Structure 1
């Protein structure tokens, strides 16, 4: 009897062990399945952004590459100028406000969150017929303020200077105002365009003209000018020799979530920064010397 009882006890114990193993196995399978389901969850929705036209050459490839990875996300990006972007994201009419300028005091209580995504250098450009290749900072100030109106006064030929640049809502204009004019006022005697691309096109077709654009827009249709003898290059910006640049911002109203967060995270990712930022005329934030 004792042997039989002992056998029954052993059999019962074995069943219990097997039962627990089965339960544990089922639990493990469920956890693995849940993890796979979570990994397979795709972000979806529509992301809207507006603002800086200087940032467009960077965000367009970001938009294309992100949508290849996330087929259920639609991203709509418009220009309009940095202050337009900040106004619209503060009002809740877009998800992201793109800007070349740091958040002004009047926006501090709007609940905007700053995401610095790149450094945008700015370049002075002139029509190809302009004989000058370099100007001092003071000469740029004199032209932008209207004190100098003929190229002969800055070492060029006898030719009228036509200033072509951006409206007051432009972050590019704000950058030049801060980095070059240092408080002096732009002349009102200028042709105003609504984007970097429009400035470049107008300068390319207007003899004697000068203006400024994000470095990504400075192509062979115009002449890029040096500043105090320093030509623009990424290395010159990083080394502190070329000082006309701005940090690029993507502002959200509150912390970014969902597809908006996923898109901004992609723009700031190592993959995108190392592959696309410099190639499109920008400088990764991580390369700047603080």
Structure 2
């Protein structure tokens, strides 16, 4: 039998090429898998109490994918988060308001804004009040929070004194409520019941006859201890925020000082992904692109 040396040479070369391509393909896939598994580091964040439940949920889901990433979360209010990210003491500052509203212009300019969601803010009252007063006009709401109305009977409610449960000036939730619910009229602070802990605020309203305050919508999911108050007949809901009829809402910001590093970027990208968007809405937050009227 005669062998065609030329043909054998061609076949041998083809075999080498095929093996080489297979090796490259496996190497590339392994590299991608290794990169996903190799994501390591620590993310620290603080700030908005309204954004904290979302940040906790995002951290838990993100760590399922990247178990070697440590995420440390704290509240403290939007002003605190912005100051700390500006100072470099945390990687991410969570805020309900734009940085320039809480920081000097030059400090705000150093930060990069990542709008991760939309939050709706609702006025909430003690259930005894809410049973009689389920809706207030915006002017009535302004009069209550500025101290002009001091008894609920003045707005059709029971003969009970109004008790304000207020937030500190560093609160981004307060800033949103002041701008869009109170038309920039400043609320009368009640220092004895002042807190930026939304859970504690709801508890105070629930336990105090005549009490009223305001919280981010996610804190009201599966919570029947207080009554949400409609404004001009429009209920505080995600649907009404999306369709533009409920006006008391704002963007949720996660600020970094300069561009985020690889670990921070992966976390932020995950929060803004379609995958996490379903969880985000389930927690009572909104997807920014779904709001018909922007701010």
TM-score when normalising by structure 2: 0.88
Question: Structure 1's 286 and 183: CA in aligned 2 closer, same or farther, altered over 3 A?
Answer: closer
Aligned residues: 281
Q: Which residue of 2 aligns with 1:101?
A: 97
Question: Which aligned pairs between 1:98-177 and structure 2 lie closer than 5 A?
Answer: 98-104=94-100, 106-107=104-105, 109=107, 110-130=109-129, 131-177=132-178
Instruction: Verify: 1:243 aligned to 2:244, yes or no.
Output: no
Where structure 1 has 5 or more consecutive residues not aligned to the other structure, the ranges are 1-6
Cα distance in 1 for partners of 2:85, 2:118 equals 21
Aligned to 2:52: 56
Task: Summarize the Cα distance change of 1:177–1:58 in structure 2 as closer, same or farther, 3 Å threshold.
Answer: same
Q: Are the counterparts in 2 of residues 117 and 268 from structure 1 also a CA contact under 8 Å? A: yes
SS of aligned partner of 1:188: coil
Corresponding residue SS for 1:146: coil
Pick one of 199, 212, 229 that aligns with 1:210: 212
Shift of 1:183: 2.9
Q: Give 1 or 2 for the bigger CA radius of gyration.
A: 1
Deviation, structure 1 residue 103: 2.4
| CA distance in structure 1 between the aligned counterparts of 2:170 and 2:134, rounded to whole angstroms | 29
What CA deviation, in whole Å up to 9, does each residue of 1:219-257 have, x standing for no partner? Answer: 201111111111122221111111001111111111222
Structure 2, unmatched stretches of 5+, are none
CA distance in 2, matches of 1:253, 1:112: 4
Report the CA distance between 1:19 and its aligned residue. Answer: 6.6
Aligned residue for 1:35? 28
Q: Aligned partners of 1:76, 1:107: CA distance in 2, in Å?
A: 28
User: Is the 1:146–1:189 contact (alpha carbons within 8 Å) kept by the matching residues of 2?
Assistant: no
Q: Does 1:231 find its partner at 2:229?
A: no
More displaced 10-residue stretch of structure 1: 210-219 or 183-192: 183-192
**Contact (CA 8 Å) 2:205, 2:211: kept in 1 or not?**
yes
Q: List per-residue Cα deviations over 1:9-50 (Å, max 9, x = no partner).
A: x84x66764675466445424432431232122211111111
Match of 1:288 among 277, 291, 295: 291
Residue of structure 1 aligned with 2:224, choices 213, 220, 225: 220
Q: Using the alignment, how far apart are the partners of 1:267 and 1:165 within structure 2? A: 30
Structure-1-length-normalised TM-score: 0.89
What RMSD, in angstroms, separates the aligned Cα atoms of the two structures? Answer: 2.1
